[in-house]
Amino acid sequence: MPRPTRSAPAPARGSEASKDQRHRAILEAVRSRRVTSQERLRELLEEAGFAVTQATVSRDIRELRLAKVPGTGGVAAYTLPEERESTPPLKELLPTLFTSAEGTGNLLVVRTMTGGAQAVALAIDREDWPEVLGTIAGDDTILLICREERRLPDVRRRIQAIARGSSSRRPAEPLPLPGSDA
């Protein structure tokens, strides 16, 4: 007696096919509307037929390299990687997002409105200030690292002036060349 044939099993809930479909749904949601939170994205996915946890949404956001970027009025929303290239310049972000700046040594802590730190840090990095080694951003806090301790007051004043919308600022002195005594 021949054995009954089995049909191929349906894809598992977490299968690659399901994941690809979910990723397409996430990309469509982010393209078509302002998605301001992981919970809202999870709800949109549920409406589209994907039962997912917050942990899955978080992992998908990381895999798709989505980032929260402040928009008009400082309300952050997820954007696609190619859209991050259109992040507004520092002079447009700081007046609405900046809350404070204080530092010690060569470290400056810049605080922003919730959700604003990553966009502001990216804008600072794009300014390519020679006295700034780099930035690290959380949700509302940026750690800005100056190349030299003596540059911190100038950088802090510059950031505060930009936040006030002041276009006049005293430029920082040029950095001495490596190996010079200056």
**Residue 85, pLDDT score:** 56
**Residue 17, pLDDT score:** 59
**Residue 125, pLDDT score:** 87
**Residue 14, pLDDT score:** 46
Quick one: tokens of 7? 């049909």
Task: Give the 3-state secondary structure of residue 125.
Answer: helix
What is the tens place of the pLDDT at every residue in 64-86?
A: 888 888 776 678 888 887 655 56
Nearest to 101 by CA among 85, 80, 124: 124
Q: How far apart are CA 135 and CA 106, in angstroms?
A: 12
Nearest to 140 by CA among 76, 55, 60: 76
Cβ neighbors of 160 (< 8 A, separation 6 or more) are 98, 101
Can you give the pTM of this predicted structure? 0.50
**Residue 171, pLDDT score:** 41
